[in-house]
Structure 1
Amino acid sequence: MTDSQLPPRDEDGATTGPYPEDDDRPVEYETVQTPVLVVGAGAAGARTAISLAEAGHEPLVIGKRDHGDAHTTWAAGGINAALGSLDPEDDWTIHAADTLDEGHFINDPTAVELTTQEMPDRIRELDEWGMGLDRTEDGKVNQRYFGAQSFRRTCFVGDRTGEAMLEALVSKAQGLSIPYRENVMITRLLSDGAAVHGAVGYEMESGEFVLFEADHVVLAAGGYSALYNRHSSRDDENNGDGSVLALEAGASLMDTEFVQFHPTGMVEARYGEEWAGRLVTEAVRGEGGRLYNASGERFMERYSPDQMELDARDVVARAIAREIREGRGTENGGVYLDISHRDDQYVKDRLPKMYERFADLGVDITEEAMEVAPTAHYSMGGVDIDFETGETGIEGLYAVGETVAGVHGANRLGGNSLAETVAIGKLVGEHVAEQVDADGELPATARALAEREFRSLERLGGAGGTERPQELLDDLGDVLWEQAGILRDESSLRTGLRELEALRERTTDLRIEGDRTGRDFEFAIDLSFSLTLAEALLRSALKREESRGAHYRTDYPDVDPDWRRNILVDAGDTGLTLRTRGVPDPSEPVQEAVEEGYELDYHHLE
């Protein structure tokens, strides 16, 4: 297969697309100057901005949606910290060991250890900021079991933890008067491959172009799990934009083949298209929920008799997929998740959002089971960074949160996504604050690049072909689900790459209805990011000839010790290029915790 291309760019780097070039007439745009631009308004972006503000700087945070409406709110079940509220023997080294074990030891050890050491203080901080964490009878922060954790380590606010956490962070940010702009979409970073000078995008409600002049840009724009046609994200989020913005600016991506398939997504045939793949939080299983097939067998007894439903997410997801594939699933293509054996009030208290959601659908989960099946949920891959600083290797460009790779390795430990955002976000914000100097003047080359990008976006808005962007995105989701889903092999991945090229060909005939405030225009930009990230994913999955964590190759079903390496992706002159890098060993205290072999005994819940 020949090297494929990144989205079309002219010789100066602006997007071109298949549309006729206009002359270099003047283009109207707003110019905004800020010392630090934070792209993404979820937990990672908010915590980074808080550190900057506390250091005396005034970052500008921008988001694609309304203020406070970020994907963080969809993280329901909890956030990890080794507090020892219920299990005093737990500590940060065991948390780190669990994280490395779940990540199959290709995590960045520095990232893991920074996160797990930071988290007890970050939980206490969030508590002080009004997160409202659930408490034990004696007033301690309560903690629950989550899959593959050795102890009860997951702090929570019922089953709305992410929502409560973001509310606390937004309130803190507002108290610090951190500027925020909502409904802004970034289409390109202004980078010469060595340094970043800002970013360009447009106001989604007015269609007006905006140039952000900034010597420091922090990407906190989420992951790429929504590339799959069955996923737990909103359709217009987690499409890889943060990672691809960094890649096109000159940074490297890492571990893009690792996408976590959460075991329990809602089944479309049972609950309707609106609910297809929507997450049924792991908190249901953490509170004792049981999985049954259509024959009433509690099938995890066959796959994981010790950890049962609380084994690693990849293990449980593959078990469910196998039950369905071998004909033991429901007629709707799922299995049953049952919490009805627990006391009714307990379920309502611990899982209020799940109770209310299913009640609205005519299902009383205190009396009957839910139908679930695996769903694409989280991307372990992303931008390769130095975790002590957030630096990407491009001067002035940083990344944090699900936009980056390293903390989670080959599979994410449940409850660690929220943890990473605040633990690393605080550290990155503190480091960037030390780098901020007087505002520099925007180089003429960067302004010229911005104006070429704006003219390119104008041409995109006038596309009059036959292919609608949403249909192409839907087809891309089908390709990834079928060819690079829970089970993969060389044949399926090569088929996926061929089908991806066919989709790229179809983009030469795009049709954009409406103006720049419409969804067609937004989806067309999403499509450019998504196609690039999908290629990185497929090519990395093809290169990794083993099975590890969430990456399961049926033609290479075993873990290969020689593949304890990360795959990095760069934007070469003729397309994406791949290379590998070895993984350092953890510190001695964490290695000792790994060797101790701590493990959850599920039957404590019985």
Structure 2
Amino acid sequence: MTSSETPARERRHARDGVEYETVEVPVLVVGAGAAGARTAIALAENDVDCLVVGKRDHGDAHTTWAAGGINAALGTLDPQDDPAIHAADTLDEGHFLNDPHGVETVTRAMPDRIRELEAWGMPFSRTDDGEVDQRYFGAQSFRRTCFVGDRTGEAILETLVARAQDLSIPYRENVMITRLLSDGERVYGAVGYDMEDGHFLLFEADAVVLAAGGYSSLYNRHSSRDDENNGDGPALAYDAGARLMDLEFVQFHPTGMMGAAYGEDWDGRLVTEAVRGEGGRLYNAEGERFMEAYSPEQMELDARDVVARAIAREVDEGRGTENGGVYLDVSHRDRAFIEERLPRMYERFGDLGVDLAEEPVEVAPTAHYSMGGVDIDFDTGATAVDRLYAVGETTAGVHGANRLGGNSLAETVALGKVVGEHLAERAFDERPTLPESQRRLAEEQFAALDRLTDGEGEEDPEALLEEVGALLEDHAGILRDEASLSAGLDALADLRERAGDLDVGERTSRSFEYAVDLGFTLTVAEGVLRGALERTESRGAHYRTDYPDVDEAWRRNVLYEHDRDGMALSTREVGTPSDAVQAALDAGYELDYHQLE
């Protein structure tokens, strides 16, 4: 993260007419957001060489879009809070499909991770006494969300990048990984291409860490940028032989911007939960504060799935705005308070001609986060494939059926350190050995990518991606049923067939990038649909209108594996929490929204 130079010897090959560059490195970290950065920092602090690769310019990762805050039971404002209660809230919000050990690993670590970020220069918002300030987020029993105004993710990534620069961690930007080199038992590296000049890249690595994000952008209306969270992390792991888990759980954040009100470029973009955490209220088109009917105790700060379904119901029953949303209003707060606590939201809407301190804004649910992903061991980050690890939103298990707001950033820094320190305990070859079978596999992938280049088929990759997004919204959105999910799978099979006839430009073009993304998208979209069809209950972010109740027999995780017949599904029982966390659950701690009134 100090330069584009790699720590390992590089050379060029020309074999079978395909030229490529080889890079040798002990540990390859795929993804340059907070999870990848914190993993690399842990490796560097333990004198293990690694290389971080990312699809975008360095420092420009999806982490920067996480605005509202990061959770840790510091007890700044509520001294009774502790990591066990944080874990209990996380399990409760996740409807008890979370991995309890993974949850506790994160919640126990977070006070130290916040102090660590603070020591590295993170400019946290402060109380009058100079302590790290904390705010309410939905479904939190206490104020435990630490923040930097409403630009917390950006501040975290800036802090981690600065620390990585101090440690001279190398990175390579604008690199797209298209396949992992794996025999199904062990990973040996990865292949991809340089997105700036198009040349092919072979990374020979003794271990690979996937920190490439999630898959919420598979939906057309989403809170990410269009070129992020396309499912490449889970799809790469799945193709390499790793297990995926709980893909059916996609979180729809209650408050995304309405494109019809503010312009197509803003459609689905997040209005941070911090607006509601600072007292923002939701009203329907008839001026009713409708959360009083759905959640009189927790109101707008109930769980995200509860608030999102409430908004969807208001709209479906004719009480939404002309644009199909509702109103979010924080104008009862003083202007100075809004400018200080919500500066980015205040500026964004001001630029669009809306004064957040004087008038409401239009919002509706938007695909925001994927709780599913790669199945890992939370003591190490290891997958079912030897030497393949995963961390961050690429993984499953911490968030269960619905993520607690403020926990995504917490997971990245807590588990990034765990994964990096575990890897540092292993002995790695500075010059990894690539079996000849894996070199042939790499060259076959390069040949396939070469054939894809300048393809003259009938189908536009970007258009097909949009069709997949519309398909998921229609068949696997907030409300689902068997007939719709089955129809979605049939439609996806047709899209997969059409994806074999693409019109693609040169390797530096967006159409080539979209063509690669399409392969990842089709894999993960199938998993979302199959998992949602398999789970015959409603739990968290997954709501089946034909099975509207929670079924305790379904307190199981759905697992996905690649076999000779395609995608195979199975289930696994969920573990039990520790005695301390169970005691916190039994105590029944709950947010008192009315403290904000």
The within-5 A match list for 1:191-590 is 191-438=182-429, 439-512=431-504, 514-590=505-581
| CA positional deviation for 1:63 | 0.2
| CA positional deviation for 1:434 | 1.1
Residue of structure 1 in register with 2:3 after alignment? none
Q: Is the 8 A contact 2:329 2:360 kept in 1?
A: yes
Residue of structure 2 in register with 1:5 after alignment? none
Structure 2 Cα separation of the partners of residues 373 and 190 of structure 1: 41
Deviations 1:209-245 (A, max 9, x none): 0000001000000000000010000111101100010
- Which has the higher mean CA deviation after the structures are superposed, 206-215 or 500-509? 500-509
Structure 1 Cα separation of the partners of residues 47 and 423 of structure 2: 12
The count of aligned residue pairs is 582
- Residue type of the partner of 2:448? S
> Per the alignment, in what secondary structure is the counterpart of residue 23 of structure 2?
strand
- Residue type of the partner of 1:452? E
Q: Is the 8 A contact 1:222 1:401 kept in 2?
A: yes
- Which has the higher mean CA deviation after the structures are superposed, 497-506 or 42-51? 497-506
Gapped regions of structure 1 (runs ≥ 5)? 1-23
Gapped regions of structure 2 (runs ≥ 5)? 1-14
Q: Is the 8 A contact 1:216 1:436 kept in 2?
A: no
Q: Is the 8 A contact 2:25 2:432 kept in 1?
A: no
| CA positional deviation for 1:46 | 0.1
Q: Is the 8 A contact 2:271 2:345 kept in 1?
A: yes
Deviations 1:561-603 (A, max 9, x none): 0000000000011100000000010011000101110000100
| CA positional deviation for 1:435 | 1.4
Residue of structure 1 in register with 2:107 after alignment? 116
Is it true that 1:46 corresponds to 2:37 in the alignment?
yes
Q: Is the 8 A contact 2:138 2:277 kept in 1?
A: yes
Structure 1 Cα separation of the partners of residues 69 and 432 of structure 2: 42
> Per the alignment, in what secondary structure is the counterpart of residue 140 of structure 2?
coil
Is it true that 1:91 corresponds to 2:121 in the alignment?
no
| CA positional deviation for 1:508 | 2.3
Structure 2 Cα separation of the partners of residues 470 and 336 of structure 1: 32
| CA positional deviation for 1:336 | 0.2
| CA positional deviation for 1:265 | 0.1
- Residue type of the partner of 1:569? Y
- Compute the TM-score of the two structures, normalised by the length of structure 1: 0.96
RMSD across aligned C-alpha pairs, in angstroms?
0.7
Deviations 1:98-145 (A, max 9, x none): 000000001000100000000000000001111100010011100000
Residue of structure 1 in register with 2:5 after alignment? none
Please point out which of 137, 142, 150 is paired with 1:159.
150
Is it true that 1:130 corresponds to 2:121 in the alignment?
yes
> Per the alignment, in what secondary structure is the counterpart of residue 137 of structure 1?
coil
Deviations 1:287-331 (A, max 9, x none): 000000000000000000000000000000000010011110000
Structure 2 Cα separation of the partners of residues 327 and 436 of structure 1: 62
Residue of structure 1 in register with 2:52 after alignment? 61
- Residue type of the partner of 1:542? L
> Per the alignment, in what secondary structure is the counterpart of residue 362 of structure 2?
strand
Q: Is the 8 A contact 1:293 1:330 kept in 2?
A: yes
> Per the alignment, in what secondary structure is the counterpart of residue 166 of structure 1?
helix
Structure 1 Cα separation of the partners of residues 141 and 91 of structure 2: 12
Deviations 1:535-578 (A, max 9, x none): 01100000000000000000000000000000000001110000
Structure 2 Cα separation of the partners of residues 125 and 409 of structure 1: 27
The within-5 A match list for 1:67-106 is 67-106=58-97
The within-5 A match list for 1:169-180 is 169-180=160-171
| CA positional deviation for 1:349 | 0.3
> Per the alignment, in what secondary structure is the counterpart of residue 200 of structure 1?
strand
- Compute the TM-score of the two structures, normalised by the length of structure 2: 0.97
> Per the alignment, in what secondary structure is the counterpart of residue 337 of structure 1?
strand
Residue of structure 2 in register with 1:35 after alignment? 26
Structure 2 Cα separation of the partners of residues 478 and 435 of structure 1: 45
Structure 2 Cα separation of the partners of residues 502 and 277 of structure 1: 27
| CA positional deviation for 1:38 | 0.1
